A and B are shown apart, each in its own frame.
Chain A
Amino acid sequence: MATQPVFAEAPAPDSIESLFAVPTLHCAGCIAKIENGLSKVPGVEGARVNMTAKRVAIRHDPALSPPELKAAIAAIGFDAEPLADPGVDVAAAENRGLIRALAVAGFAAMNIMLLSVSIWSGADGATRQMFHWLSALIALPTIAYAGQPFFRSAFAALRQGRTNMDVPISIGVLLTTGMSLYETLTGGHHAWFDGAVMLLFFLLAGRCLDSLMRGRARAGVAALLKQTAPGAMVLDAQGASHWVRADALRPGMRMLAAAGERLAADGRVVDGSSGLDIAFLTGESAPVPVGPGDEVQAGALNIDGPIIVAVTAAGADTVIADIARLMEEAAQGKSRYVRIADRAARLYAPCVHLLAALSFAGWMIAGAGMHQALLIAVAVLLITCPCALGLAVPAAQIVACGALMKRGVLVKDGSALERLAEVDEAVFDKTGTLTLGRPTPHGLDRLEAQDKAIVLALARGSRHPLSVALRQAVEAEGVMPAALEDIREQPGEGMSGRFGDEAVSLGRPRSLISLFDLASEYRRGEQATLLRFADAPRPDAVVTLADLNAMGVTTLIASGDRPEALEAISRATGTTAIGHLRPQDKLALIGRLKAAGHRVLMVGDGLNDGPALAAGHASMAPASASDASQLAADAVFLGDRLAPVPMAVRAARRTVRVVKQNFALAIGYNIFAVPLAILGHVTPLVAALAMSSSSLIVVANALRLKGAAR
């Protein structure tokens, strides 16, 4: 079988497991290539791909270092990033617990319902007694297990002197169970184990839907540390190099960073010169040239040539760790947001308690006796139990999220939709958000077809961002690469090769045209052509901003870039732009807007936007964003277009409208059913049917949101 071939044999005792993120995984062929290719690498015992998480777990000899494994994956043809720490996925564990509880409740509800049906259809005497006992036998452990999520949350709320939706649920379930048990013990005619367990089942279904969407939203900080390397090659006094883990790096060590590697610690360059990609910090796509004496930050990607860096700060003292802390603090503000369902519960729960208590008191005064009065109070609690309310919100949100997902917007959390519906101010980052964030060559049409083929053949061999951009642009025109000989990459200079007997090359321009312009020079024989690059705006940036304005959302551009670089886009979109903002400045800007009473939607991609994304009332990031930003954002949109942003806001507003309709439906049902229950006319069968039908109506209304994303 192909499913579990890898770890079938017992792993050698001293092997370790490393995790790599492989974002380009997309088909069965990729899985086979990586798993088979890696098992052939000496020292690797096995590899197992997880397609859903786009990860590969490699079990290997501890002697193999992460860069070697990364190179092995690259040799197979995939880009991989080592994951610093697998960590424990808290949200996934919580979700699994809920699914387990749902399975138990579903099993119990079906069996108890089966027994109840035979009681309703006339089982009598000893048979009814036995069926009640059987129901109790199934229901009691089920409620003790599957009811825990509600009991725990209700207890936590009560201890803080608050009340939420879980309080009436818990009281209702416990009281119903207690009454049923009493009835069973005394040989009474009715028991409501079926109602209590079915209630739990419906509510757990809503809870599961809710937590499915939440996904991995909480793991933001763990992902941020992915940006730094898990370790570095450190040079000792004799000049020999050995691998040191990032958490063992100390100031004063000298680490060697080869081209294509990320730095593992902050430091100062002592030898060599190169270009560093620090887009995660500044958002600028152009590599920054560094030489001896320059300061460099952990997480920077070394692009051109090897450099030796003296470590000045490692681990928790690095700039990137500071941003992680900022993000964590900013996200705390968001967690104080009260969800619509809980806001409704604040009003609803006291009403329900009061009604049940009043009907108990009323029947006591009317002289009905303790037993009957308690039965009626339980019926009131059961029938008002927010079954429909519990489904009203998650059902609408999951349908809307599904519709948005089909249009390329991934929403992480139900509360994100609620917050997205409330925004009235949108702050956009520039590089990578309003623009594509990658250099695109222009003026390619000046090249002859043959030259394009040569350029493609040269660019293919290099991972320099400009080469990658050239390759993508030329490949998009359907050009096939020319056959070249002697292709070589000279770090810092570029690619060179031979076409027939002409020397051809692609590299750094000999004459420096402008300090900020990105350019690459293509030389063939004596003739040289300059290829210029620019960061192109997203195709619909102007329309999108106008669209948002028309929806009553004001827009603003906030960037870490130079103000001159913002002029063009600011003029094109007619939007105010603020430049030179550091991550903490963006955070402060959001804070000022918040203080002015605005609800801010932050749209950004870079790590420098991370704190602002976490602080915004709602936030969105393009799929090209850094992992940390994608995790900090409430929603991620795919593709080169910006139109998903207003579409998501519009869909969110419609969702909230449907949620409110659902509340109205659920409350309307209660207004109709509660008087009947208070008057003592509701039998268990009626209560069960009414509960299910009100839930179905609410779900059907939510299904109307299928076309919400337009």
Chain B
Amino acid sequence: MTGVAILIPIALCLGLLGLGAFFWALRDGQFEDADGAAVRILIDEED
């Protein structure tokens, strides 16, 4: 029973962390330009 009392809050916190990260990414515009992000990796940096 004590195990459950510790594990369930931990599980919920981890889930909330993921949810929070998704919200942050959404607000931060990470999904604004998916096509651009895919090709930007190919740009050679000159400096």
Contact = CB atoms under 8 A, between A and B. Distances in A.
A104 interface: yes
A27 interface: yes
Interface of B: 1, 4, 8, 11-12, 15-16, 18-19, 22-23, 26, 32-37, 39-46
A215 to B, nearest CB: 14
A539 B16 CA distance: 57
20 contacts: A2-B40, A2-B43, A28-B39, A28-B41, A28-B42, A28-B43, A31-B36, A31-B43, A32-B44, A50-B36, A51-B36, A52-B33, A52-B36, A100-B23, A103-B23, A107-B16, A107-B18, A111-B12, A114-B11, A138-B12
A127 B1 contact: yes
A99 B30 CA distance: 14
A507 B39 CA distance: 41
A51 B37 CA distance: 8
Interface in A108-126: 110-111, 114
Interface string A1-17: 01100000000000000
Interface secondary structure of B, over-half rule: helix
B45 A2 contact: yes
A570 interface: no
Contact of B43 (A32, A104, A111, A127): A32
A23 to B, nearest CB: 14
Nearest to B45: A2
Interface residues of A, number: 25
Contacts of A107: 15-16, 18-19
B39 A110 contact: no
Contacts of A32: 43-44
Interface-central residue, B12, B39, B44, by most chain A CB under 10 Å: B39
Given A31-B43, A52-B32, A100-B26, A3 B16 contact: no
Nearest to B16: A107
Task: List 9 A-B pairs, minimum CB-CB distance, nearest first.
Answer: A51-B36, A28-B42, A28-B39, A32-B43, A51-B35, A50-B33, A52-B35, A107-B19, A52-B33
Contacts of B22: 103
Given A31-B36, A111-B12, 19 more contacts: A2-B40, A28-B40, A28-B41, A28-B42, A31-B43, A49-B36, A50-B36, A51-B35, A52-B34, A52-B35, A53-B33, A96-B26, A100-B23, A103-B19, A103-B22, A111-B11, A111-B15, A114-B11, A138-B12
Contact of B40 (A3, A100, A103, A104): A3
A612 B45 CA distance: 49
Contacts of A103: 19, 22-23
A444 interface: no
A114 B12 CA distance: 11
B11 A27 contact: no
A248 B42 CA distance: 43
Contacts of B45: 2
Nearest to A137: B12
A2 B43 CA distance: 8
A368 interface: no
Given A50-B33, A51-B33, A103-B22, A31 B39 contact: yes
B31 to A, nearest CB: 9
A104 B23 CA distance: 10
A111 B15 CA distance: 8
Interface of A: 2-3, 27-29, 31-32, 36, 49-53, 96, 99-100, 103-104, 107, 110-111, 114, 127, 134, 138
B32 to A, nearest CB: 7
Contacts of A96: 26
Contacts of B43: 2, 28-29, 31-32
A152 to B, nearest CB: 21
A19 to B, nearest CB: 14
Contacts of A3: 37, 40
A99 B15 CA distance: 17
Contacts of B41: 2, 28
Contacts of B37: 3
Contacts of A111: 11-12, 15
Contacts of A49: 36
Contacts of A99: 26
A27 B1 CA distance: 57
A127 B39 CA distance: 52
Nearest to A50: B33
Contacts of B35: 51-52
Nearest to A110: B15
B38 to A, nearest CB: 8
Contacts of A53: 33
A692 B44 CA distance: 48
Contacts of B32: 50, 52
A113 to B, nearest CB: 12
Contacts of A134: 8
A3 B19 CA distance: 23
Nearest to B30: A3
Interface-central residue, B8, B16, B18, by most chain A CB under 10 Å: B8
Nearest to A115: B8
Nearest to B5: A130
Nearest to A36: B46
A52 B35 CA distance: 5
A93 to B, nearest CB: 12
